[in-house]
Amino acid sequence: MDRELAFLDPTLYTVKAIMILDNDGNRLLAKYYDSTFPTFKEQKTFEQNLFNKTHRANGKVIMLGGITSVYRSNVDIYFYVVGSSHENELILVSVLNCLFDTTTQLLRKNVEKRTLMENLDTMYLAVDEICDGGIVLESDSSTIVQRVAQRSEELPLGEQTVAQVLQSAKDQLKWSLLK
């Protein structure tokens, strides 16, 4: 009996994985936070099974192999947040909504595969700001967007894009004129 109670004790480690798949079930972004799927082959098999069960469904929550998954789709992208079978679905849905809203803001409402792939580095930063090691750090999308924007501003000049350099120059000029 004690083992069963220990199994249901609350834990900070609520998220097992965060994934974004394309409309063929191929991985665009995936972060696994525990050893449920230790090898790449097991991860790909799980992702394909999950996609096959959800790509035509209208639901938002699915139990697959003792794992709770919440999901959402947009155009040609599928967003997934995975937790254990005893995890609170509302927590997983809040992480999913944060991921989706953050993606929408970062990609300027152009949430599709091509744009996501062009901004994959930014998306990985966003996922790292949302969840670390399975622990949910933040569920407010505007806070995540601010943090990601700050990190991208800290890049050395050689690693910034032309648009980032121009924006930085504009900001510096604006502040020098306001003084």
Ranges of the chain whose pLDDT falls below 70: 1-10, 151-166, 168, 170, 174-179
Tell me what pLDDT residue 41 has.
95
User: Would you state the pLDDT for residue 43?
Assistant: 94
Q: What is the pLDDT of residues 57-83, one digit of tens each?
A: 777 888 888 899 999 988 889 999 999
CA 158 to the chain's CA centroid: 27
CATH of domain 2-178: 3.30.450.60
Where are the alpha helices (H) located in 9-140, listed in sequence order? 40-54, 89-106, 113-118, 120-130
The DSSP line for 128-165 is: HHHEETTEE----HHHHHHHHHHHHHTS-GGGS-HHHH
The kind and range of the H/E element at 20 are strand 17-22
Q: What is the DSSP letter of 88?
A: -
Instruction: Tell me what pLDDT residue 154 has.
Output: 56
Residue 85, pLDDT score: 86
Q: Where are the domains of the chain?
A: 2-178
Closest CA to 67 of 85, 48, 49: 85
CA-to-CA separations, 177 to 104, 170, 171, in angstroms, rounded: 33, 11, 10
* pLDDT at site 174: 65
pTM given for the model: 0.78
In contact, 125 and 152? CB cutoff 8 Å:
yes
Question: What H or E segment, with its residue span, contains residue 14?
Answer: none
Give every CB contact of residue 12 below 8 A, 6+ residues apart in sequence: 134, 135, 136
CA distances from 82 to 3, 134, 138, 161 (A): 24, 10, 16, 34
Residue 11's nearest CA partner among 68, 64, 87 is: 87
